[in-house]
Amino acid sequence: MDLIPVIQQRFSAHAFLPDPVSPEAMERILEAGRRAPSAKNRQPWRFVVIQQETLRRKVQDAAYNEPWVGQAPAVIAVCSTNIDYRMPNGQLAYPIDLSFAAAYMELQAFHEGLACCINTTFQEDEIRELLTVPYSMRVVVLLVIGHPAEKRTGDPNRLPKGRIVSYEHW
């Protein structure tokens, strides 16, 4: 049940082995996304799983040909189904909702012994066309998933707590 070791293991992988993601692991990753919280529980998401090699190569092209995008055996395109809803604080809900879903899926992937890279470096119109995403919807994140061909190297270079945490006032 300890979550912190999974969080500490997590890193953005940029090299993957060709071994596939097992269907059971993929189901659990998708279940983690399905269970993610969302504003008013609207669940404004659709997870498009891309595993076919020819399609992955086209997705790689649309992702500025970043090699790991086509190298990894699976990519989940985290897409919105509603882009209008604003939360009571006035902010758009969908980028936040979809970030939670992507984060849950990413952590479950690491829990499975897999690795991920969150990818936002892509031509959204091209991805939309490849995956037949309706024009009014957004492709927010490509979650690239597979068995890592590299390990997390050293310090994750995070700001110290003293810089980012304060109590009772800013």
Ligand X SMILES: Cc1cc2nc3c(=O)[nH]c(=O)nc-3n(C[C@H](O)[C@H](O)[C@H](O)COP(=O)(O)O)c2cc1C
Site for ligand X, rule CB under 6 A:
11-12, 117-121, 156
**Residue with smaller CB distance to ligand X, 121 or 136:** 121
Q: Least distance (Å) from ligand X to the CB of residue 71?
A: 13
**Residue with smaller CB distance to ligand X, 9 or 43:** 9
Tokens of 11: 């890193």
Q: Least distance (Å) from ligand X to the CB of residue 116?
A: 9
**Residue with smaller CB distance to ligand X, 120 or 136:** 120
Nearest to 127 by CA among 93, 76, 74, 92: 76
CA–CA separation, 149 and 157 (whole Å): 21
Nearest to 148 by CA among 22, 23, 25, 13: 13
Q: Least distance (Å) from ligand X to the CB of residue 15?
A: 11
Are 144 and 116 in contact by the 8 Å Cβ rule? The answer is: yes
Give the distance from CA 113 to its chain's centroid: 16
Are 108 and 10 in contact by the 8 Å Cβ rule? The answer is: no
Q: Least distance (Å) from ligand X to the CB of residue 23?
A: 26
**Residue with smaller CB distance to ligand X, 49 or 118:** 118
